[in-house]
Amino acid sequence: MRILLTGRNGQVGWELERKLAPLGEVIATDRATLDLAEPDAIRRAVREAKPQIIVNAAAYTAVDQAESEPELAMQINGSAPGVLAEEAKRLGALLVHYSTDYVFDGEKATPYLEDDPPNPINVYGKTKLEGERAIQAVGCRHLILRASWVYSLRKANFLLTVIRLARRNARVRIVVDQVGTPTSAGLVAQATVWALGSSSVSEGLFHAAARGMASRHAFATEVVERLGLTCTVEPARTSEFSLPAQRPASSALAPDRLEHSLGVEMPVWREDLMGCLLPVLEGRAALPA
């Protein structure tokens, strides 16, 4: 089996390249070898690879910067998935694509289900929703996996930001009025492998997230405590920070549909976090400077 993977250097892409290897030949690309802002480059890459599965882990993920670069964000997050879908349909291939909790407006107090109506409140969320709809409109075989608050020990993400701040400061202020489902990149990649290996998950939209809800403050507090850092995590309000993009207040995702389809139980976010931090706790990985 040939698998074309985009975004190999991203958080989820890095995990996928390793976890997909047992399933077949993985042709992994990064932005230097496949720029998703170039439709002709996408078509050329797919036609050269002739994959049975296309896994699109590449995305424009700079939430605040997207407010000033809406066209580029839309090209990568909204238009490129449609082109990939067209090529997948031409080949009869399966397209796996990743979306986000930011397709929701954050007005729901409980975790979002796949059937809840999306209503993004920032450019990033709007472009990711457009990508979902472009794939569905083409009608290729597809799996769309929404993830929430993705983190890892690689690249730039909220986990590493918390660790850096906590190591440099006696006190840090973290917002308490943004709630989501922190989910490791490793868990998103593992859920993908489970789905690809399952006869009960053929295609559709699923929430690939850990279980439970946490504020950013609660997540940061858990990180500091698990790592034994001496920093005090103080609660703050989103209104205290001036950011270009509005964030949904509560965008946790419920993974029930994926769990039922796969016959697995996703870990609670605290368990997932511990799995991610284990290499650091066991001395196999270093904390960021």
Catalytically active residues are 124
Do the Cβ atoms of 178 and 101 come closer than 8 Å?
A: no
* CB neighbour list of residue 273: distance below 8 Å, 6 or more residues apart: 159, 182, 184, 219, 222, 223, 226
Number of H helices and number of E strands within the chain?
A: 10, 12
CA torsion 225-231-235-239 (nearest 10°) is -130
CA distance 204 to 81: 15
Do the Cβ atoms of 105 and 247 come closer than 8 Å?
A: no
